[in-house]
């Protein structure tokens, strides 16, 4: 290889390594809570600062437009897509007015089976039953997937340890085993099944209000928030396709994007990605961190978890989101 060729090749490979990509940001909730053990919330003040920075320094796009641009090898510099998972009510009441004010588009991935439910998502229920100030029994005995477990629960520290252990264990269980454990936990806690209004998902009417302007588009997030990698192909297909169809029936327009529940590399498989493609979706996002570049698989898109921080810290984090 001639010297000039080598220089050109090295320059090209460095450029491809450092060429800035696009960033897909993941939010769950915009609100202020007494307890946020899973770090799902960003405060409204921080979210407003973050959206202003995106509007002023980036090219905010709808996720499906970002996917189309990626496939056409035409991603604008500093392209960003804002996404929310699960469909919490505060996406409408807190996040939407800020999105409207700043003109930043977003995609909200909704668990179709939770629309309008008075129940909380299971991870929130776990927190509600184990983290309150009320006195609870001295220990918690549960059968999970046929195995017996016991955690001391006298002190707040012990209850936190039990919640952390249970969250990890229950996220890997089948829906049936998980529900059985949660039912037993509910009886143990002495609390009612009905959830807190602060933790509920949107109703159908609220979802329609969120989607009507077109600034927010709705994506699929399964029927039951299942760990897709634990299901048969047939059950995965049901969760993906029925979840999207139920949303389309409500919205009267097609659902084109999807987020794998939990989204880590262990929570979905190449079969899952194939099923998402076969369902006619334009693309699907994970929670694996990374930037998006031309040539990425649209059914394995990485996302950055947006931190709950002020504008200055967010602006610094954002720079790394484009290049890593
Ligand atoms: Zn989710």
Q: Tell me which DSSP letter residue 93 carries.
A: I
Q: What is the mean predicted confidence (pLDDT) over 212-229? A: 95
Q: Output the CA 15–ligand 1 centroid distance in Å.
A: 35
pLDDT band at 136 (very low <50, low <70, confident <90, very high): confident
Q: CA-to-CA distance for 61 and 294, rounded, in angstroms?
A: 16
Q: Output the CA 250–ligand 1 centroid distance in Å.
A: 20
Q: Output the CA 55–ligand 1 centroid distance in Å.
A: 26
Q: Name, in order, each residue with C-beta under 8 angstroms of 216's C-beta and a sequence gap of 6 or more.
A: 91, 96, 99, 105, 106, 107, 108, 210
Q: Output the CA 155–ligand 1 centroid distance in Å.
A: 30
Tokens of 193: 């099944």
Q: Which residues pair with 88 in a beta bridge?
A: 201
Closest Cα partner for 217 from 262, 254, 260?
A: 254
Q: Output the CA 76–ligand 1 centroid distance in Å.
A: 28
Q: Output the CA 267–ligand 1 centroid distance in Å.
A: 11
Q: Output the CA 222–ligand 1 centroid distance in Å.
A: 9
Q: CA-to-CA distance for 257 and 108, rounded, in angstroms?
A: 10
What mean pLDDT value characterizes the chain? 92
User: What does the domain layout of the chain look like in residue ranges?
Assistant: 19-117+200-323, 122-189
Whether residue 81 contacts residue 22, with contact meaning beta carbons closer than 8 Å, is answered with yes
CA distances, 144 to each of 150, 172, 178 (Å): 11, 11, 7
Q: CA-to-CA distance for 124 and 278, rounded, in angstroms?
A: 32
- Phi first, then psi: give them for residue 293, nearest 5 degrees: -130, 165
Q: Output the CA 219–ligand 1 centroid distance in Å.
A: 12
> Looking at residue 206, what is its pLDDT?
97
Whether residue 114 contacts residue 91, with contact meaning beta carbons closer than 8 Å, is answered with no
pLDDT band at 9 (very low <50, low <70, confident <90, very high): low
Q: Output the CA 26–ligand 1 centroid distance in Å.
A: 10
Q: Output the CA 224–ligand 1 centroid distance in Å.
A: 10
Q: CA-to-CA distance for 31 and 41, rounded, in angstroms?
A: 6
> Looking at residue 15, what is its pLDDT?
47
Q: What percent of the chain has pLDDT over 70?
A: 93
Q: Tell me which DSSP letter residue 118 carries.
A: S
Q: Output the CA 114–ligand 1 centroid distance in Å.
A: 11
Q: Looking at beta carbons, which pairs linking 191-196 to residues 24 or more positions away fall under 8 Å?
A: 191/128, 191/129, 191/132, 191/134, 193/119, 194/118, 194/119, 195/118, 195/119, 195/120, 195/124, 195/125, 195/128, 196/120, 196/124, 196/128
Closest Cα partner for 276 from 263, 257, 293?
A: 257
Of 10-14, 26-30, 87-91, 217-221, where does mean pLDDT reach its minimum?
Answer: 10-14
Mark the residues whose beta carbon lies below 5 A from ion ligand 1.
Answer: 85-86, 261
Q: Output the CA 86–ligand 1 centroid distance in Å.
A: 5
Q: Output the CA 227–ligand 1 centroid distance in Å.
A: 10
Structure confidence by residue, pLDDT tens digits, 57-78: 999 999 999 999 999 999 999 9
Q: Output the CA 201–ligand 1 centroid distance in Å.
A: 12
> Looking at residue 171, what is its pLDDT?
87
Q: Output the CA 221–ligand 1 centroid distance in Å.
A: 7
Q: What is the mean predicted confidence (pLDDT) over 27-33? A: 97
Report whether pLDDT(5) > 70. no
Q: Which residue has the tokens 């229950």?
A: 170
pTM of the model: 0.91
CA distances, 197 to each of 41, 182, 264 (Å): 16, 19, 29
Q: What is the mean predicted confidence (pLDDT) over 163-173? A: 91
Q: Output the CA 143–ligand 1 centroid distance in Å.
A: 25
Report whether pLDDT(34) > 90. no
Q: How far is CA 279 from the centre of its chain?
A: 20
Q: What is the mean predicted confidence (pLDDT) over 238-259? A: 97
Closest Cα partner for 169 from 224, 123, 235, 113?
A: 123
Q: Output the CA 129–ligand 1 centroid distance in Å.
A: 20
Collapsing DSSP states into helix, strand and coil, what is residue 236? Answer: helix
Q: Output the CA 58–ligand 1 centroid distance in Å.
A: 26
Q: Output the CA 260–ligand 1 centroid distance in Å.
A: 7
Of 46-50, 130-134, 142-146, where does mean pLDDT reach its minimum?
Answer: 130-134
Q: Output the CA 17–ligand 1 centroid distance in Å.
A: 31
Torsion angle, alpha carbons of 260, 47, 80, 272, to 10? 0
Q: CA-to-CA distance for 153 and 308, rounded, in angstroms?
A: 30
Look at 255 and 175; give whichever has higher pLDDT. Answer: 255
Tokens of 278: 């076969």
Whether residue 26 contacts residue 86, with contact meaning beta carbons closer than 8 Å, is answered with no
> Looking at residue 20, what is its pLDDT?
67
Q: What kind of fold does domain 19-117+200-323 have according to CATH?
A: TIM Barrel (3.20.20)
Report whether pLDDT(163) > 60. yes
Q: CA-to-CA distance for 271 and 88, rounded, in angstroms?
A: 28
């Amino acid at each position: 290889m001639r010297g000039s060729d080598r220089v050109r090749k090295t320059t090209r490979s460095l450029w491809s390594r450092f060429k800035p990509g696009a960033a897909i940001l993941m939010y769950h909730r915009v609100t202020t809570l007494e307890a946020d053990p899973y770090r799902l919330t960003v405060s409204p003040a921080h979210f407003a600062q973050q959206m202003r920075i995106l509007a002023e320094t980036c090219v905010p796009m709808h996720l499906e437009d970002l996917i189309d641009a990626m496939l056409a090898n035409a991603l604008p510099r500093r392209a960003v897509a804002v996404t929310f998972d699960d469909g919490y009510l505060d996406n409408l009441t807190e996040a939407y007015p800020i999105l409207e004010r700043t003109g930043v588009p977003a995609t909200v991935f909704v668990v179709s089976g939770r629309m309008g439910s008075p129940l909380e998502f299971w991870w929130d229920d776990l927190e509600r039953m184990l983290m309150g100030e009320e006195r609870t029994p001295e220990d918690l005995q549960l059968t999970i997937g046929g195995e017996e477990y016991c955690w001391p629960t006298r002190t707040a520290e012990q209850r936190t340890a039990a919640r952390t252990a249970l969250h990890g264990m229950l996220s890997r269980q089948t829906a049936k085993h998980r529900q059985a454990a949660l039912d037993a936990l509910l009886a143990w806690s002495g609390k009612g099944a009905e959830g807190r209004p602060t933790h509920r998902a949107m109703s159908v009417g609220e979802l329609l209000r969120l989607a009507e302007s077109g600034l927010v588009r709705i994506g699929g997030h399964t029927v039951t928030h299942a760990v897709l990698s634990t299901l048969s192909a047939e059950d995965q297909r049901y969760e993906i396709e029925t979840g999207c169809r139920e949303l389309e029936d409500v919205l009267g327009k097609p659902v084109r994007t999807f987020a794998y529940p939990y989204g880590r590399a262990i929570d979905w498989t190449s079969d899952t990605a194939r099923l998402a493609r076969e369902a006619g979706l334009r693309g699907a996002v994970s929670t694996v961190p990374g930037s998006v570049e031309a040539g990425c698989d649209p059914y394995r898109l990485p996302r950055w978890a947006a931190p709950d921080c002020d504008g200055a810290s967010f602006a610094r984090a954002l720079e790394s989101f484009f290049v890593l």
